[in-house]
């Protein structure tokens, strides 16, 4: 609970802020009234002092559009729009690959080498499961570096736990990070620990991120996809998103399907076979699933992507796909964590041979053609493939929130 925000809102609405805060503190913190009263008075004093004056450097323009309403973080149309606006705020830079290229890792060049940097946030619903949160966020950061055609050399982390969180969450989370680092021989070199909101946020919520740095002598950004290329997809068993689905639908047996480093093994097999320079583009199927990633690749490459629905279905982990089908969740609209390789047709066989040699399934699932947009072929019929306003609803609560675009989206966008 955000005590500062709660107090500010109560004051703005002319309600008895001190009385309300005392009630909440006694309820949540299990304190006696005297202690709760001292805290309430201090909170109100800080809030009133903080907002008693305005100077430009402490102010920001409010749009009136809420993060959740606009779909930020939900890997769909609203989220992608905000990402594009962020690139405008950043402006031009001397980076080889920057946020405007819609890749998950940025790239600079130093001393003849490409240096890639990526950062991924902990899945917001894995707060109570620190080990698996650490495992999957680390794997995600490494994936972003690998698909840029670079190899990870270091990992760093940041973890924030709210005031009432158990200290052991930190250790379990770091253990999850370290598990991936140990399996891949990539060291965890730095990190930070903080409380969410300091004294002003109570509860047990955990959040944070893991970053990864990689190096290489060539890169495979999304914008390099060319007309005539074929699209390969490795088996995807999912990561944080699939784990979250399994946990909150009570299908815990699916969680273990995600505990692997198959994606990393597939990438390493490509590096070992010296095929990176022959590949035009690589990506991981995460940002709103095939729907979201395909849309972004199409935009930055200026080409059209065409997929075969049956072939994509066949490459999703069987237990994961069974769960998604039973729950009526569109598998093309959420993260399945497959490796997507876009390369010339004459290179595809070598890529598949190398990946299969490492024990990972991989198949050709589509191709790149001249044009705009993305398409999916289902039962011989070619249809438009577009991201929804939000990624596929994959928890009971997300089903309530829904995937539909709000009626006032255009109005919010203009703000």
pLDDT category at 406 given cuts 50, 70, 90 is: confident
pLDDT at residue 14 tops 90: no
What pLDDT digit, counting tens, does each position of 112-153 carry?
999 999 999 999 999 999 999 999 999 999 999 999 999 999
Q: Which residues pair with 119 in a beta bridge?
A: 211
pLDDT of residue 407: 74
**Contact present, 181 and 213 (Cβ < 8 Å):** no
Q: CATH code for 93-219?
A: 3.30.1330.10
Question: Model's pTM, two decimal places?
Answer: 0.93
Classified by CATH at the fold level, domain 221-415 comes out as: Phosphoribosyl-aminoimidazole Synthetase; Chain A, domain 2 (3.90.650)
pLDDT at residue 415 tops 70: no
Rounded to the nearest integer, the mean pLDDT of the chain is 95
Rounded distance, CA 340 to CA 142, Å? 15
pLDDT at residue 389 tops 90: no
- 400 burial (CB, 10 Å; 0-12 / 13-18 / 19+) is exposed
What are the boundaries of each domain within the chain? Answer: 3-58, 93-219, 221-415
- Measured CA angle at 8 (ends 7, 9), to 5 deg: 90
């Amino acid at each position: 609970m955000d005590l500062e925000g709660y107090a500010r809102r109560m004051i703005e609405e002319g309600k008895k802020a001190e009385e309300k805060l005392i009630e909440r503190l006694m309820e949540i913190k299990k304190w006696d009234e005297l202690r709760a009263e001292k805290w309430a008075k201090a909170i109100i004093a800080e809030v009133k002092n903080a907002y008693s004056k305005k100077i430009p450097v402490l102010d920001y323009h409010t749009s009136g559009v809420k993060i959740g309403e606009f779909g930020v973080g939900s890997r769909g149309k609203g989220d992608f729009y905000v990402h594009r606006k962020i690139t405008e705020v950043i402006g031009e830079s001397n980076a080889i690959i920057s946020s405007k290229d819609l890749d998950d890792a940025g790239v600079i060049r130093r001393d003849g080498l490409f240096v890639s940097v990526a950062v991924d946030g902990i899945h917001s619903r894995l707060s109570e499961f620190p080990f698996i949160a650490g495992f999957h966020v680390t794997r995600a950061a490494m994936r972003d570096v690998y698909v840029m055609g670079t190899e990870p050399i270091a990992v760093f982390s940041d973890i924030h736990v709210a005031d009432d969180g158990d200290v052991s969450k930190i250790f379990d989370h770091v253990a999850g990070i370290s598990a991936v680092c140990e399996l891949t021989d990539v060291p965890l070199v730095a990190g930070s620990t903080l409380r969410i909101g300091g004294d002003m946020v109570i509860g047990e919520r955990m959040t944070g991120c893991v970053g990864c740095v990689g190096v290489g002598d060539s890169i495979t950004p999304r914008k390099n996809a060319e007309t005539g290329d074929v699209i390969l997809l490795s088996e995807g068993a999912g990561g944080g998103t699939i784990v979250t689905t399994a946990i909150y639908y009570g299908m815990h047996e699916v969680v273990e399907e995600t505990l692997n480093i198959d994606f990393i093994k597939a990438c390493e097999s490509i590096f070992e076979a010296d095929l990176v320079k022959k590949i035009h583009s690589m990506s991981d199927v995460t940002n709103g699933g095939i729907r979201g990633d395909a849309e972004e690749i199409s935009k930055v490459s200026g080409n059209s992507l065409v997929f075969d629905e049956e072939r994509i279905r066949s490459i999703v982990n069987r237990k994961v796909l069974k769960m998604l089908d039973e729950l009526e969740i569109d598998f093309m609209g959420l993260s399945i964590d497959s490796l997507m390789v876009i390369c010339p047709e004459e290179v595809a066989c070598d890529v598949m041979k190398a990946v299969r040699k490492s024990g990972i399934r991989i198949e050709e699932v589509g191709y790149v053609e001249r044009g705009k947009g993305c398409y999916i072929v289902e039962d011989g019929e070619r249809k438009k493939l577009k991201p929804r306003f939000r990624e596929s609803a994959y928890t009971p609560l997300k089903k309530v929130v829904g995937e539909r675009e709000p009626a006032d989206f255009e109005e919010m966008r203009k703000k």
